């Protein structure tokens, strides 16, 4: 059997007396999209922060390529190849595409104390990296990040993570704030990242988006993995029900419909 | 790639400041005379601009990085008192006094920076605290040590030549220092890779830290830079005027903020340019001094500065939005 890139084994996380994660065990393989589903407050953010090195698990362990790892901070996780892209892309609205792409690792030319930021090179590499992900509309590295659409920003952030050697890509609700078309854009980029052999962890509560790109699904309920299944093993209704905490959404919907019907056709007096 | 089109120039952070400078020049040429452009007149506003500008540059960087330092208001008199007390009152060599001034700036800057980084208290409040603390210390110590609040100082000719002479009769030598410092800042902010870090810090501190930028160290360095620049200006003033007073310097707080904001720096950080701060400082100094070349009463200059500040901010907002909305035309 192939060793997963990232594996969580019986991970618990508690903040003082409050238990947030219980006994989480998950595996992510290269070239696979793991969708983490869950309602608000199910512990999705805590889980990804644990994977990204922000939090240390209270017990249990993280394994990369089968070897136990311990991250002292987000930097450690990043160096190991785990990159998180947040909802708004974690970018700088008033900086140019080239500059923000290379933030912290600016390419320079010249030597000694006269090293100069190489704007041309930075712009070229940044634009090329984004275009390889299918965003052909970005062709000028001098444009400001703030002028890009939400989807383009996400794509830029993902392209950046991949360019700098990410192996595990954690996407924190990348489609939450986007319109239909923009979201489709981001989903395509997720698939492109998967094609390149990255392990993608895709956090969302939009079942449709998850079903479009996911190979493997895990539903979180109150900090525990309530279901763990492969593509095609569950229907959309079943997943929605699971996310709502096991309550049958269908029943809830029927109730709402009944309520609406009652309002439109008041019973004869 | 042709970057010199009119539209590209307008989208730069200093566009508003440059247009403001032109407007102010036109205003004073119409209502006053061109005398303020002649050497004797130019000296009056260049002197003001240079003293203010050396402080405004690091303040501008702090603002780009999302911080603020108002303790400079006390650091300017502190810097001049330090050199005057050490080298005037105690008769130590001038170099000792000068080092004393600069180290005082270094120390207060470190305190500001470390407090801001460690406590997460907004830097406005932290430096408001150190502003008053330094002021109190200054007054207390100078009365304790010298018995007065103003101290005479005679600098040796070499120090006087480098830091406190009048070039050509009316131009303070600090103007040359200002130009040199501008050149250094332009290199570090816009050409070296470090400038990028400052902009990133002001844009989004958490993301900047995640990208591996040493935000803590950089913040402390910026505070040290502003406090030391302020004490440097104070030191030069003491050497120039052969005396130092504990008061004065408070006007620099607002004046430097005005210069920086007029210069196109975004108060909330992440946007601005050194050349913009330069234009902003010159504009401020011209309004401040230009009024003497007109028939208007001096009191109106504050009105002009106020209106200018509001116009500059509105204009800078417009240009910034233009920059954000900019998309290259389809080829």
Is A106's CB within 8 Å of B199's CB? Answer: no
Of A91, A105, A147, the CB nearest to B324: A147
Residue B1 has pLDDT above 50, yes or no: no
CB contact under 8 A, A94 and B328: no
Q: What share of chain B in percent tops pLDDT 90?
A: 50
Query: Predicted confidence band at B2 (pLDDT cuts at 50, 70, 90)?
Result: very low
Which residues of chain A does B199 touch, with a Cβ-Cβ cutoff of 8 Å? 92, 94-95, 99
B193/A108 touch (CB, cutoff 8 Å), yes or no: yes
CB spacing of A103 vs B213 below 8 angstroms: yes
- Structure tokens given for A179: 């319109």
Q: What value does the mean pLDDT take over residues B44-56?
A: 94
Judge: A144–B323 Cβ closer than 8 Å, yes or no: yes
Task: Judge whether residue A9 has pLDDT over 80.
Answer: yes
Please name the residue that has the structure tokens 């407050």: A41
pTM: 0.83
pLDDT of B229 reads: 96
Is B323's CB within 8 Å of A93's CB?
Answer: no
Q: CB distance B203–A92 less than 8 Å? A: yes
State whether B196 and A116 contact (CB < 8 Å): no
Residue % of chain B over a pLDDT of 70: 95
Best of A124, A146, A148, A172 to disrupt the B interface by mutation (most B CBs within 10 Å)?
A146
Comparing CA positions, the residue from B326, B21, B165 lying closest to residue A146 is B326
Task: Tell me if chain A has a CB within 8 Å of the CB of B208.
Answer: yes
pLDDT band at A129 (very low <50, low <70, confident <90, very high): confident
**Chain A environment of B326 (Cβ under 8 Å):** 143-144, 147
pLDDT at A218 over 60: yes
Domain range for B134: 18-325
| Residue B13 forms part of a structural domain | no
Q: Residue A38, by phi and psi: left (phi above 0), alpha (psi -120 to 50) or beta?
A: left
Question: pLDDT tens, B131-181?
Answer: 999 999 999 999 998 888 888 888 888 888 889 888 888 899 999 999 999
Does residue B7 form part of some domain? no
Q: Where are the alpha helices (DSSP H) in chain A?
A: 44-51, 74-79, 97-101, 119-132, 150-163, 180-195, 207-213, 236-243, 249-264
Closest-CA residue of chain B to A122: B193
pLDDT at B248: 82
| Contacts with A95 from chain B: Cβ below 8 Å | 196, 199-200, 203, 270
Range in A144-153, B98-107, B250-259 with the lowest mean pLDDT: A144-153
Verify whether the Cβ–Cβ distance B323 to A103 is below 8 Å.
no
Q: Per the CB < 8 Å rule, is B327 touching A99?
A: no
User: Tokens representing A251?
Assistant: 């029943």
Residue A249 has pLDDT above 70, yes or no: no
**Residue of A74, A77, A86, A103 to mutate, interface with B, max B Cβ within 10 Å:** A103
Mean pLDDT across chain A: 83
Judge if ipTM > 0.85.
Answer: no
Residue of A91, A117, A147 lying closest to B193 (CB–CB): A117
The pLDDT of residue A269 is 47
* Closest CB from A90, A117, A147 relative to B326: A147
Q: What phi, psi does A14 have (nearest 5°)? A: -130, 145
Contact call for A75 and B204, based on CB within 8 A: no
Residues B274 and B186: beta-carbon distance below 8 Å: yes
Kindly state the DSSP code that residue A207 receives in the 8-state scheme.
H
Task: Specify if B6 maps to a domain.
Answer: no
3-state SS, chain B, equals: CCCCCHHHHHCCCCHHHHHHHHHHHHHHHHHCCHHHHCHHHHHHHHHHHHHHHHHHHHHHHHHHCCCCCCCHHHHHHHHHHHHHHHHHHCCCCHHHHHHHHHHHHHHHHHHHHHHHHHHCCCHHHHHHHHHHHHHHHHHHHHHHHHCCCEEECCCCHHHHHHHCCEECCCEECHHHHHHHHHHHHHHHHHHCHHHHHHHHHHHCHHHHHHCCCCHHHHHHHHHHHHHHHHHHHHHHHHHHHCEEECCCCHHHHHHHHHHHHHCCCCCCCCCCCHHHHHHHHHHHHHHHHHHHHCCCCCCHHHHHHHHHHHHHHHHHHHHHHHHHHCCCCCC
The encoded tokens of residue B2 equal 């042709």
Q: How many distinct structural domains can be found in chain B?
A: 1
Cα distance between residue A163 and residue B216, in whole Å: 27
The domain that holds B273 is classified in CATH as 1.10.3470
Counting one residue from chain A and one from chain B, the pairs whose CB atoms sit within 8 A come to: 79
* Distance from C-alpha of A6 to C-alpha of A63, rounded to nearest angstrom: 6
**Strand, helix or coil at A135?**
coil
Asked, for residue B225, whether it belongs to a domain, the answer is yes
CATH superfamily, domain A6-90+167-233, is P-loop containing nucleotide triphosphate hydrolases (3.40.50.300)
B204/A91 Cβ within 8 A: yes
Task: Indicate whether A104 pLDDT > 80.
Answer: no
Residues of A in contact with B271 (CB under 8 A): 94
Which residue among B193, B207, B328 places its CB closest to the CB of A91? B207
**Residue B154: exposure state from Cβ atoms within 10 A (0-12, 13-18, ≥19):** middle
- Provide the token pair at A98: 């080239």
B chain contacts of residue A103, beta-carbon cutoff 8 Å: 196-197, 200, 207-208, 211, 213
Instruction: Measure CB to CB from residue B200 to each of A75, A103, A147 and give the nearest one.
Output: A103
Q: Is residue B9 part of a domain?
A: no
- The pLDDT tens digits for A163-212 are 888 899 998 888 777 778 888 888 888 888 888 888 999 988 788 888 88
């Amino acid at each position: 059997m192939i060793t997963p890139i990232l594996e969580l084994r019986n991970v618990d996380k508690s903040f003082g007396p409050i238990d947030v994660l219980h006994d989480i065990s998950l595996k992510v393989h290269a070239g696979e999209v793991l969708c983490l589903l869950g309602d608000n407050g199910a512990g999705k953010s805590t889980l990804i922060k644990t994977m990204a090195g922000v939090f240390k698990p209270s017990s249990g362990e993280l394994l990369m390529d089968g070897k136990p790892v311990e991250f002292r901070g987000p930097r450690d996780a990043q160096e190991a190849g785990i990159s998180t892209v947040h909802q708004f892309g974690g970018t700088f609205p008033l900086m140019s595409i080239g500059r923000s792409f290379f933030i912290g690792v600016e390419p320079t030319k010249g030597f000694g104390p006269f090293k100069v930021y190489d704007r041309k090179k930075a712009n070229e590499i940044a634009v090329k990296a984004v275009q390889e992900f299918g965003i052909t509309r970005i062709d000028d590295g001098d444009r400001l990040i703030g002028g890009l659409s939400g989807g383009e920003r996400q794509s830029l952030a993902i392209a950046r993570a991949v360019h700098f050697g990410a192996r595990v890509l954690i996407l924190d609700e990348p489609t939450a704030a986007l319109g239909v078309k923009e979201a489709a854009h981001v989903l395509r980029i997720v698939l492109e990242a998967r094609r390149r052999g990255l392990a993608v962890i895709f956090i969302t509560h939009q079942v449709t988006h998850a079903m479009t790109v996911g190979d493997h699904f895990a539903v979180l309920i109150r900090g525990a993995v309530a279901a763990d299944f492969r593509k095609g093993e569950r229907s959309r209704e079943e997943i929605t029900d699971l996310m709502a905490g096991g309550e049958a959404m269908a029943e809830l919907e029927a109730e709402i419909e009944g309520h609406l019907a009652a309002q439109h056709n008041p019973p004869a007096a | 790639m042709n970057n010199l089109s009119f539209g590209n120039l307008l989208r730069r952070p200093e566009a508003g400041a440059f247009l403001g400078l032109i407007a102010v020049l036109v205003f004073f040429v119409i209502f006053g005379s061109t005398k303020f452009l002649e050497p004797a007149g130019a000296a009056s506003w260049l002197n003001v601009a240079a003293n203010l500008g050396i402080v405004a540059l690091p303040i501008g960087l702090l603002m780009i990085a999302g911080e603020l330092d108002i303790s400079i208001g006390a650091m300017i008199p502190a810097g001049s008192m330090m050199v005057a007390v050490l080298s005037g009152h105690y008769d130590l060599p001038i170099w000792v006094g000068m080092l004393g001034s600069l180290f005082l700036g270094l120390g207060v800057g470190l305190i500001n920076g470390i407090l801001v980084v460690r406590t997460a208290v907004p830097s406005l409040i932290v430096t408001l605290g150190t502003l008053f603390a330094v002021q109190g210390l200054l007054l207390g110590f100078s009365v304790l040590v010298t018995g007065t609040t103003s101290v005479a100082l005679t600098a040796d000719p070499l120090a006087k030549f480098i830091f406190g002479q009048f070039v050509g009769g009316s131009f303070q030598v600090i103007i040359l220092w200002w130009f040199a410092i501008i050149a250094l800042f332009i290199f570090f902010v816009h050409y070296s890779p470090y400038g990028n870090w400052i902009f990133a810090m002001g844009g989004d501190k958490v993301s900047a830290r995640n990208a591996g930028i040493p935000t803590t160290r950089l913040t402390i360095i910026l505070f040290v830079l502003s406090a030391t620049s302020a004490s440097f200006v104070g030191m030069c003033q003491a050497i120039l005027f052969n005396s130092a007073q504990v008061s004065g310097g408070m006007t620099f707080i607002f004046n430097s903020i005005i210069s920086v904001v007029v210069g196109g720096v975004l108060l909330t950080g992440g946007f601005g340019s050194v050349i913009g701060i330069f234009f902003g400082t010159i504009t401020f100094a011209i309004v401040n001094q230009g009024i003497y070349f007109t028939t208007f009463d001096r009191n109106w200059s504050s009105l002009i500065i106020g209106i200018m500040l509001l116009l500059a901010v509105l204009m800078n907002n417009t240009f910034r939005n233009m920059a954000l909305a900019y998309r290259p035309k389809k080829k």
